[in-house]
Amino acid sequence: MSLHAFRYKKRFLLSLMGLDLPVKEKEVIAWLSERRLMPSPELVTHVVNHPEGLILLEKSVDSLDRPKLFLSVSDLIVDDNPEPPKPV
């Protein structure tokens, strides 16, 4: 595992505990935790940077055909009007 990946995962784990977390990321994690879903760090980043991230996330969760515990970027539905995510 690269140092960058290690730092990212460490930051994500700390964020799950409510430490060192931007407001938008807290909102995404809270929304998912209310639905008993655990996101991947990449999913949180994608949703936060997407112009309509929470709407896309809600549509994706509603379209799941079976219960899931972990949610990743690959579980998101394809956006009808794709716009590139904002750079971090």
Q: Is residue 88 part of a domain?
A: no
> Is residue 27, in this structure, part of any structural domain at all?
yes
* Whole-angstrom distance, CA of residue 88 vs CA of residue 48: 9
The domain of 19 spans 3-75
Count the domains in the chain: 1
User: Is 47 a member of any domain?
Assistant: yes
pLDDT band for 14, please (50, 70, 90 cuts): low
Is 21 a domain residue? yes
Q: What is the per-residue pLDDT across 44-68, written as a single tens digit (0 to 9) for each? A: 988 999 888 888 899 998 888 888 8
Give strand pairing partners of 38. 70
Q: Report if residue 84 sits inside a domain.
A: no
Mean pLDDT score across all residues of the chain: 78
Residue 51 lies in a domain: yes
Look at residue 82 and tell me if it is in a domain: no
